[in-house]
Structure 1
Amino acid sequence: MAIITLTTDFGVRDHFVGAIKGYIYSELPEAIIVDISHHISPFNITEAAYILKNAYKTFPKGSVHIIGVDSELTPDNKHIAVTIDGHHFVGADNGILSLLAQEINPEKMVEINIHDRVQGIFPVLDVFVKVATHLARGGQPEVIGKRIDSIKVLKGLSPVVNTAQSQINGSVIYIDNYGNVISNISRKFFETYRKGRDFEVWARNHSFTSIHERYSDAINFNVEKSKRNADGKRLAIFNSSNLLEIAVYKSNLDTVGGASSLLGLSYRDSITITFIG
């Protein structure tokens, strides 16, 4: 079974996604193609990494993941194939894969070198599909590339703690379909420096003194339903990715709004945690 996933910023209005799928089937008719997302914000490598990091783990080992975000070949943006956690990733060396490899060391990394054997200016179609189908057949990465020892690392995207270890400074890395705001502060990072202390989470001029395990934990279900004022209630939670998230209970961007709109939070905005005591 050859599973090939697609994560791109192409959208679904144009012909790009259809052409990629058609070429995959031409190269490997038995392939199973899965769309992870084609609605990545244009060239937003942090968003692509967040979505892919949370999706790939549910696929079987040996799956191949094509990343079509910021994929044009330049001297600063080489093409690579990287094996992480038993999965193959094909994309550009633009930092996306360094975010995926933060916790798991890559098993193999190669710089793709088949460009002289393909024609065209659409690298996801012309190059990445060739590489992905080769890997999906069980081919070795060294056949389509030369071994490399490192990949481009994005800096400034990890949270930092001050020298007194009294404050964590993080930032917004993703805003989901509900308007929930996801930060780069992990539960593990938070617990490492909390050491049992009380805390305040600050997002712009909004503060939170507790972090919930479930969205519904913010609601007092012992209060009569008509008096709960539940919809639109803001809260902090560690989400399914174990990242600190600022959310609105049962948010709807068309009605009650979401955390991004109601709290005025955008990509790369600061999220801080101040420890008390």
Structure 2
Amino acid sequence: MAFITLTTDFGTKDHFVGAVKGAIYSELEDAKIVDITHEISPFNITETAYILKNSYKSFPKGTIHIIGVDSELSDENKHIALELDGHFFVCPDNGLISMIASEIKPTKIVEINIHDRIESSFPVLDVFVQVACFIARGGNLTVIGKEINEFKKIIEIQPKANQAETQIVGGIIYIDNYGNVITNISKKMFNDIGKGRNFKITAKKHSFTKIFSKYNEVATNSAYSNQQYEGHKLAIFNSAEYLEIAIYRSNLDTVGGASSLLGLAYRDTVVIDFVNQPEQEFTILN
């Protein structure tokens, strides 16, 4: 039984998701289809990359991931299929694979070349489904395309450290359902560059000198209920081990989220300065 996942910006109002699933079942009756999400912000490649990186590993090796975001074929936006970390990805070559492949090199990448037999304005349905089902039947990637060595890379996904390694400059790449903002700065990069030094995080006019390991650690006084701390801002390495700026017990309908309350938006800059100050002023909580 083949596992096939779907990640798109189609939403669920229109017929697109249903049509894609129907086409898969027509080819593979015993396929197991899993929706990762269809609520990607339209054409948002960076958001797609973040969600995909933090979901694909939960699936069994051999799973095939169809990604339908900014997938219209053009000279600048080819279609590719690749094997990476024991998984297969069928997607546009628009940079969305960058976040995964920055850490794990693909085993094989091919540029899909079956388009001369198919004319379509809906490539996820007409092309990606065929390729995914071919792979699910045990087909070799080189049959559906010519092997290539490179894929497009998104520069904004990668944070940068200065030469002296006293500063990391990153940015906000995702805003979650709670309004919390996620940066492209990983815990690994923070530890590798910081080397245990004290630090200060700056995002617009807001600064943070502690990184919590759990959200409720912001409720520091046991004499008060956790509700008393609702609305407090904090920095945390989230479950995906990326630096997140959050509002404790955020609720977009009542308290608000970090994005709205702190005025932080997609692509805003986040800076970490590593400084030599008294130990008690700058702390990472373990």
Residue aligning to 1:46: 46
Q: CA deviation at 1:199?
A: 1.0
Q: How does 1:1-277 map to 2 (within 5 A)?
A: 1-225=1-225, 229-277=228-276
Question: How far apart are the structure 2 equivalents of 1:196 and 1:86?
Answer: 34
Question: How far apart are the structure 1 equivalents of 2:124 and 2:35?
Answer: 14
User: Which amino acid in 1 is paired with 2:139?
Assistant: G
Instruction: Give unpaired runs (5+ residues) of structure 1.
Output: none
Question: How far apart are the structure 2 equivalents of 1:196 and 1:53?
Answer: 27
Question: How far apart are the structure 1 equivalents of 2:141 and 2:163?
Answer: 43
**Partner secondary structure for residue 96 of structure 1:** coil
TM-score, with normalisation over the residues of structure 2? 0.94
TM-score, with normalisation over the residues of structure 1? 0.97
Q: CA RMSD in A?
A: 1.2
User: Which amino acid in 1 is paired with 2:192?
Assistant: T
Question: How far apart are the structure 1 equivalents of 2:52 and 2:163?
Answer: 33
Q: CA deviation at 1:100?
A: 1.6
Question: How far apart are the structure 1 equivalents of 2:195 and 2:27?
Answer: 55
Question: How far apart are the structure 2 equivalents of 1:15 and 1:22?
Answer: 11
Q: CA deviation at 1:137?
A: 1.4
User: Which amino acid in 1 is paired with 2:86?
Assistant: G
Q: Deviations over 1:46-77 (max 9, x none)?
A: 00010011111000000000000000110010
Q: CA deviation at 1:118?
A: 2.2
Question: How far apart are the structure 1 equivalents of 2:34 and 2:61?
Answer: 15
User: Which amino acid in 1 is paired with 2:124?
Assistant: V
User: Which amino acid in 2 is paired with 1:214?
Assistant: K
Q: CA deviation at 1:268?
A: 0.4
Q: Deviations over 1:112-137 (max 9, x none)?
A: 01112223221000000000011111
The total of aligned residue pairs comes to 276
**Partner secondary structure for residue 129 of structure 1:** helix
Question: How far apart are the structure 1 equivalents of 2:146 and 2:175?
Answer: 37
User: Which amino acid in 2 is paired with 1:192?
Assistant: D
Q: CA deviation at 1:233?
A: 1.1
Instruction: Give unpaired runs (5+ residues) of structure 2.
Output: 277-286
Question: How far apart are the structure 2 equivalents of 1:93 and 1:265?
Answer: 29
Q: Deviations over 1:128-168 (max 9, x none)?
A: 00000111112111111111111111123311122332211
**Partner secondary structure for residue 191 of structure 1:** helix
Segments of 4+ moved more than 4 angstroms:
none
Question: How far apart are the structure 2 equivalents of 1:111 and 1:188?
Answer: 32
